[in-house]
Structure 1
Amino acid sequence: MGWFWASKSQEEFPKTTTTTSSWGASACPIDHTKLATSSACPIKGQSNADDDIEVLNPLNNMPMAISSEMAPGQKIKLSTERTISSIPRGETDDQGLWEYPSPQQMLNAMLKKGKGDGIPEDAVESMVAVHNFLNEGAWQQILEWENAYTKETKVEPRLKKFTGKPHDLSPKARMYLWLGELFPETFNTIPPFDRHDWTVLRSMGRGKGWEEVRYVIDYYGAPDDEETGMPAFVLDTRPALDNFGNARDRFTHWAYPMWKKAMGEVRED
């Protein structure tokens, strides 16, 4: 997940995401029956030897340009339209919003990375839709974390850059897997299918610059929605434990709802 290109357009991305807390499951509107491959983002967070001859964008470790032409041997013509996200890019409004790849660009990128074998061409558009859906959900959860700071400064956060780490378990994910081995009835025993680190710009006040805050996002599969039968996902989004402020925010985020419940401010259904 978390795969963007830069865009200067200000077009809104449709609000199709519903999220709850950092562990809230988001039912996906896309039919996954044709997606037989791994859900992990096809782009690695770091370049490999093959990328050394390319110019990579330092904001996302992606090649500066991915072709929109049909791949050799491709049978189905895919859309080259790219969707504009709702996520502000860079430090100023004139840098616009992050832009998602088109289905054709995603297929070309996967083929370039050797991850396109066995992927049905007619499933790529659904994969892109799922990808975009999850990124919008992750950003909404970041906005919830940043809400107190946004109220104080009256300036919305922005996304500076991101890095995909699909093969690197976060300390929290590793801890839950360890607990799952000991208490499989209580804790998760399946690792996240993807991880991303997003560098978010938090305003220090209008005209006073930005503070960089690293967020870690673990992407988990969840049981299918009981009513619709559609696949669901759980996004565990939180500030990285890089400093005392982030640790305090995580503790407050966890402890405050428990305090309200203990004080009788939250009614049991």
Structure 2
Amino acid sequence: MGSKQSKPVQQTQTSVVQEPVVKTELENADTIDATPKKLPVGHPKIDAKDGNGTGECPYKNPLKSIGGLFGKKRVADESPIAPKNNDSIQNDASQSGGCPVKAKSESNQSGGGCPVKASGSKTVYNVYSQPIDPTNNMPSVANQLPAPMQNEELSTERVKSTIPKGGTDGDTWQYPSPQMFYNSLARKNKLGDTEESDIASVVAIHNNMNEKTWAKVMEWEDVLCPEAKVNGGSKLLKFLGRPSDLSPKARIKNMLFGHPLPFDRHDWTIQRPDGTEVRYVIDYYVDETKADDSEGSGFPDMNDRDAIKSILVDVRPAADSVENVMGRTMTMPYARRIEKSTNFEPLPMLPTEEMKQQIEESEKVWQNIQQSVQESKTKKEKSMILKPEDIPDDQKKDFGLDISEEEAREIAQSFATMLGNCKNMQEAVNNCKDEAECSKAALGLTMCLAKVVCPLQQNAVAQALNADDFDHNDEKAVEAYNAKFEKALENMTVCVTGKSAAAAAARQKYPDLFQNLEK
């Protein structure tokens, strides 16, 4: 993305995940015991007869070969097991970095007014009506792990916003870490040409714009419900990204006045101290003429409201109640023009001359958004079983299958390293006697291979295997551990499988580079 601020940034909602802290050193891949000292907490019970009486986890390696260079010995009744179906291991909406909620309010909105009384239940729910910790907005999931095809390490540090969180006492929303943000984009096939090195800047801009949006919401609340401020203030309860839905105001501005279309839309629902919920509609526009290309402009301070001048924010209460309509047409205009009690400045209905020149570009962006939404309705996530012939040409680069000779040479060198480092592991696979022994040997080989070609993912598995710093009697801690372990193992397997597909493609295209490896 670079430092240019004007590039439209998809406002991915915040997510909150409580992960068990893991502190362990990675063992040597050639000697690592693939089976943890204990089974993952809550692992399905394994009888003594399993694993030849050892009680070992009979994990099966889904890899038949790695670029045609490694082979796995198969026992009579063994069949490769593909990674789990995505639907069973991840909750797309809850992992998408936030609270995409379309739900009817349960609060009493009769009158829609501001008489302040003690708020009701302190229970906080996620989008599926599941009770959660006040510090969580979804069940514990392992979305701080490196993505399967990720090459560079990303920060897992999270930043607390200044936005009060509805349903809690004094807590605020927490922004996703760069790793979580990257995972959200990767999971939804929205990385495009975004590199790992771009993510920190994207997250910084994302956080800055959310803070700016909240400040504008509060300017409205100070006018429409001033009593709320002295009674704890309004809080953000839930929010929803709706980039493919054009708001009525945005449509009118475009059709009647020739205003460019917004590149994103959010609906934020706030909760006042009396429990009243009010929905705000936010349109995000971009003005390329205000872009700042200076050094450091891509990393704005979270609280600097003037840092990003190229992204324009249009905030107002949704016209879904008489009170909101009155607030938009009478209360706020009176406060601005007569009382002069607010500094709120709405975006103009009429575009500037510079904005008029950008209408064509905004319509192209809008069409791309619509096309992306339509494709996402039928398009499944990238296959866990990667076969070069099954991958569309426009996705081959993502999987490393659009390979140059230089890239093929690097792949050949990495696989030469694996042949040397993982020789003992390969022999263990070739000489295994039964299902449990072969499963353990296969996992050991996969760990060894991953250390060379998927080090980030392998390290995550090694840490999860050795994690023991959580309360085994804490149901949530157990759930978080299991989710992290299973996801880390899946990510590593997918990564190694993907590297295998890339190696097979490289070997087919440049066979001479691999000849010496097979001798």
Quote the offset at 1:225 in angstroms. Answer: 3.8
Opposite residue 242 of structure 2, the aligned amino acid is K
Q: Tell me the equivalent position of 1:107.
A: 182
The 5-angstrom pairing of residues 206-225 of structure 1 reads 210-225=275-290
Instruction: Give 1:117's aligned residue.
Output: 192
Aligned-partner residue type, residue 180 of structure 2 = Q
1:54, distance to aligned residue in structure 2 (A): 4.1
Which residue of structure 1 aligns with residue 256 of structure 2? 179
Task: Check conservation: 1:42, 1:115, Cα contact below 8 A.
Answer: no
Letter in 1 for 2:99: N
RMSD of equivalent CA atoms = 3.0
1:118 shift after superposition? 1.3
Distance 1:54 1:76 in 2: 23
Distance 2:186 2:6 in 1: 16
1:33 aligns with 2:33: no
Mapped contact 1:66–1:109 kept (Cα < 8 A): no
Give, as a single letter, the amino acid of the residue that structure 2 aligns with 1:218. Answer: D
2:246 is aligned with what amino acid? L
Q: CA deviation at 1:85?
A: 0.6
| Structure 1 alignment gaps of length 5 or more | 1-29, 44-49, 205-209, 262-269
The alignment status of 1:91 with 2:203, answered yes or no, reads no
Greater helix proportion: 2
Q: Which has a greater percent of strand?
A: 1
What is the match of residue 193 of structure 1?
A: 263
Displacement of 1:75:
2.4
Cα deviation for residue 67 of structure 1 reads 1.6
Amino acid at match of 1:158: K
Structure 2: any 5+ residue segments left out of the alignment? 14-85, 101-126, 128-137, 298-307, 341-519
One of 39, 60, 73 as aligned partner of 2:99: 60
Question: Which amino acid counterpart does residue 255 of structure 2 have in structure 1?
Answer: W
Aligned residues of 1:35 and 1:127 also touching (Cα < 8 A):
no
State the Cα distance separating 1:260 from its structure 2 match. Answer: 6.2
In 1: Cα distance, 2:89 partner to 2:151 partner: 29
**In 1: Cα distance, 2:88 partner to 2:239 partner:** 20
The equivalent residue for 2:392 is none
How far has the Cα of 1:149 moved from its partner? 5.2
Aligned match for 2:272, one of 202, 205, 209:
202
TM-score, normalised relative to structure 1: 0.69
Q: Alpha-carbon deviation of 1:34? A: 9.1
Q: 1:253 aligns with which of 318, 329, 332?
A: 332
Whether 1:237 aligns to 2:315 is yes
| Cα deviation 1:186-232 (Å, max 9, x = unaligned) | xx2x211111101100123xxxxx10000001111124448876652
The answer to whether structure 1 residue 167 and structure 2 residue 244 are counterparts is: yes
Question: Mean alpha-carbon deviation: is it higher for 73-82 or for 100-109?
Answer: 73-82
SS of 2:276's partner is strand
User: Could you list the per-position Cα deviations for residues 28-66 of structure 1 after superposition, in whole angstroms to 9, with x for gaps in the alignment?
Assistant: xx9633997x522357xxxxxx76874454971487435
Q: Is the 8 A contact 1:66 1:108 kept in 2?
A: no
Whole-angstrom distance in 1 between the partners of 2:321 and 2:248: 15
The residue aligned with 2:360 is none
- 1:151 counterpart residue number: 226
What pairs with 1:128-139 in structure 2 (closer than 5 Å)? 128-139=203-214
Amino acid at match of 2:265: R
Tell which structure's C-alpha radius of gyration is larger: 2
Q: Distance in 2 between matches of 1:117 and 1:149?
A: 42
